[in-house]
Amino acid sequence: MTKQTNGYFTEENSIDVVINSMSDECEPRLKEVISVIVRKLHEAVKEIEPTQDEWMNAILFLTKTGHKTDDWRQEFILLSDVLGVSMLVDAINSRRPNGASENTVLGPFHLEDVPSLEMGANISLDGKGEPMFVSGRILDVEGRPISGAKIDIWQANEDGFYDVQQKGIQPDFNLRGVFTTGDDGRYFFKSAKPKYYPIPDDGPVGALLAALGRHPYRPAHFHYIIQKKGFQTLTTHLFDPDDAYIHSDAVFGVKESLMAEFKRIDNAQKITEHGFNQPYYEVVYDFVLARSR
Amino acid sequence: MTKQTNGYFTEENSIDVVINSMSDECEPRLKEVISVIVRKLHEAVKEIEPTQDEWMNAILFLTKTGHKTDDWRQEFILLSDVLGVSMLVDAINSRRPNGASENTVLGPFHLEDVPSLEMGANISLDGKGEPMFVSGRILDVEGRPISGAKIDIWQANEDGFYDVQQKGIQPDFNLRGVFTTGDDGRYFFKSAKPKYYPIPDDGPVGALLAALGRHPYRPAHFHYIIQKKGFQTLTTHLFDPDDAYIHSDAVFGVKESLMAEFKRIDNAQKITEHGFNQPYYEVVYDFVLARSR
């Protein structure tokens, strides 16, 4: 039962009074989490000194964010993303030894049960966009190739849309594939150059971004999940450093170490060798997995 | 447009990167508010170090809170209430000179356009519950009576329900009334003894309270809004100090200065004088209004 407090609520003792109202029987981790939230929330209110109208605007913003959320749209995750909270939680849960590849956010467009493909396959099923050839190795922190690593890749198309956003326009599983490395740890596949795209910005989070003078765009990237027993799973992106939004990702997902040169190849012999009929972009990037903790 | 940052997001610089993404053209107060929110939110995340599952539970809690909110139920205000935020905002916006009566929260049951009554009227329209006689004066900080002060009163009944919660059971405007003071600044009315009651606890906020080992009850009280031109409007409660929940109000609305003795009177002559036919409770309480700022 709620504890009887020694003092009544005042502006000065507000944090202690609220924290002390929790019962001693409250589960310890929940009590710890709520104590921090109450303390930081009250510190914020004391620093901001909101008017009653400003407080009501905050209530209405949260209400609109809740009402925009349904089975297909998670506006609170978007809010967490644009405030850098999602990336911070990811960073805290993905601290890695020096030399290991860095994590970044999963995003909402990952699919389970994507077809496994032969190494070298073209994941662009409709052949649209500028062709790419992506390759590299999966290594341990000592630089040794990892055999049998499962590489799950997905990306947006030349217009900045994932297949699941364009059902009937893009083929199912377009620009997705699962590959498994051999003894040399190498991976390589053909694809189409991804484009930057906006996060959904027709809701309260989009309105907030506009009011803050921020755009809703994410720079072009490939998604990777790389898994191998005995190693920490790596959920990350590869970014195009020449993208217009590389310095201002709306969700703060970019890390310096996750940029790979998107190199344009117009050498006719190389074009033919790779089975393309036009210039293509080449990306070479090695991923390094940390051992399981 | 979103500012280009000097550095990419890391666990160490997360606060600066997010704050610096706001445009220089952002409205200054909004920029100030969001800067504090981002800083305190990131401080909380760094201290809590939530797992991905804990973060998702927070997202789902906010989602459920949004989905519970509709035209009749404001679950985010309840959340603000039980975390002491509503009282803190009220305290910050109601700092008063020494000697002036203290504010407390408005609550969701105030009605506009309540009938004006003759001083001394009985606001218990159904005659149920234990009778009360409430009286006092409206004064300025120098102790002089304020004439023409408008006193808006509302309260729960003997079962802890407001009229609007029991349409068809209680008469319309039961236990509500608007009174105006004369030259002596006095007010007095008859009523029925209010009872403690739970805030709505069948939603996610109620589930949170239960998990924290807190009950949902508010101690018995009268609501007052007292208004007079030239003075700060006083929105407050009068509490029964003998209530079971006086030390553990679920929304932290109790202040030491807002308690008034609920004195049981069983003297036959006084009962007859006041027009009751059973023992009654007497409350005497003066309110002191601060001059407008």
- Put simply, whether A5 touches B (Cβ < 8 Å) is yes
Per-residue pLDDT of B129-168, as tens digits, reads 999 999 999 999 999 999 999 999 999 999 999 999 999 9
Residue B234 within a domain: yes
Q: Which pLDDT band holds residue A72 (cuts at 50, 70, 90)? A: confident
User: What percentage of chain A exceeds 70 in pLDDT?
Assistant: 98
Q: Which of A46, A48, A56 should be substituted to probe chain B, the one whose Cβ sees the most B Cβ atoms within 10 Å?
A: A48
Residue type, B142: E
Q: Are residues A106 and A187 in the same domain?
A: yes
Q: Which of A34, A85, A245, A249 should be substituted to probe chain B, the one whose Cβ sees the most B Cβ atoms within 10 Å?
A: A85
Structural domain harbouring A169 = 95-198+206-289
Residue of B24 and B4 predicted with greater confidence: B24
Residue B110 within a domain: yes
| Rg of chain B in Å (alpha carbons) | 23
User: What percentage of chain B exceeds 90 in pLDDT?
Assistant: 96
Number of Cβ atoms within 10 Å of the Cβ of A47: 15
Q: Cα–Cα distance between A24 and B157 in angstroms, integer?
A: 33
Q: What is the predicted pLDDT for the residue at A7?
A: 80
Contact residues, B window 92-121, toward A, CB-based 8 Å cutoff: 92-93, 95
Q: Would residue A86 be called left, alpha or beta, if left means φ above 0 and alpha means ψ between -120 and 50 degrees? A: alpha
Has residue B7 got a pLDDT over 90? Answer: no
Q: Are residues B172 and B243 in the same domain?
A: yes
Has residue B215 got a pLDDT over 70? Answer: yes
Residue A76 within a domain: no
For residue B241 the two structure tokens come to 């100090």
Residues facing B179 on adjacent strands: B151
User: What percentage of chain A exceeds 90 in pLDDT?
Assistant: 96
Distance in Å, alpha carbon of A122 to nearest chain B alpha carbon: 32
Q: Would residue B49 be called left, alpha or beta, if left means φ above 0 and alpha means ψ between -120 and 50 degrees? A: left
- Residues of B within 8 A of A255 (CB-CB) are 8-10
Is A40 within 8 Å of B41 when comparing Cβ atoms?
A: yes
Q: Are residues A220 and A158 in the same domain?
A: yes
Residue B280 within a domain: yes
Longest dimension (CA), chain B: 83
Q: Are residues B275 and B153 in the same domain?
A: yes
Please measure the distance between the N-terminal and C-terminal CA atoms of chain B and give it in whole angstroms. 40
Q: Are residues B113 and B45 in the same domain?
A: no
Q: Residue B123: which CATH number? A: 2.60.130.10
Per-residue pLDDT of A9-64, as tens digits, reads 999 999 999 999 999 999 999 999 999 999 999 999 999 999 999 999 999 999 99
Q: Are residues B101 and B43 in the same domain?
A: no
Residue A40 within a domain: yes
Q: What is the predicted pLDDT for the residue at B72?
A: 87
Q: Are residues B42 and B142 in the same domain?
A: no
Q: Would residue A23 be called left, alpha or beta, if left means φ above 0 and alpha means ψ between -120 and 50 degrees? A: beta
Per-residue pLDDT of A200-234, as tens digits, reads 999 999 999 999 999 999 999 999 999 999 999 99
Which of A99, A186, A181 has the alpha carbon at shortest distance from A137?
A186
Residue type, A213: G
Q: Cα–Cα distance between A134 and A224 in angstroms, integer?
A: 12
- Residue entry with tokens 């059902």: A167
Q: Are residues B29 and B109 in the same domain?
A: no
Q: Are residues B32 and B136 in the same domain?
A: no
Q: Are residues A159 and A266 in the same domain?
A: yes
Q: Are residues B34 and B160 in the same domain?
A: no
Is A63 within 8 Å of B76 when comparing Cβ atoms?
A: yes
Helix (H, G, I), strand (E, B) or coil at A235: strand
- Put simply, whether B57 touches A (Cβ < 8 Å) is no
- φ, ψ (nearest 5 deg) of residue A68: -75, -20
Q: Cα–Cα distance between A96 and A99 in angstroms, integer?
A: 8
- B214: nearest CA partner in chain A: A2
- Residues of A within 8 A of B31 (CB-CB) are 212
Domain count, chain B: 2
Residue B79 within a domain: no
Residue B277 within a domain: yes
Q: Are A250 and A217 in contact (CB under 8 A)?
A: yes
Has residue A1 got a pLDDT over 80? Answer: no
CA–CA distance from B140 to each of B113, B146, B232 (Å)?
A: 26, 7, 11
Q: Cα–Cα distance between B181 and B159 in angstroms, integer?
A: 30
Distance in Å, alpha carbon of A56 to nearest chain B alpha carbon: 9
Q: Are A38 and B83 in contact (CB under 8 A)?
A: yes
Per-residue pLDDT of A141-172, as tens digits, reads 999 999 999 999 999 999 999 999 999 999 99
- Put simply, whether B47 touches A (Cβ < 8 Å) is yes
Mean pLDDT of chain A: 96
Q: Are residues A133 and A7 in the same domain?
A: no
Residue B188 within a domain: yes
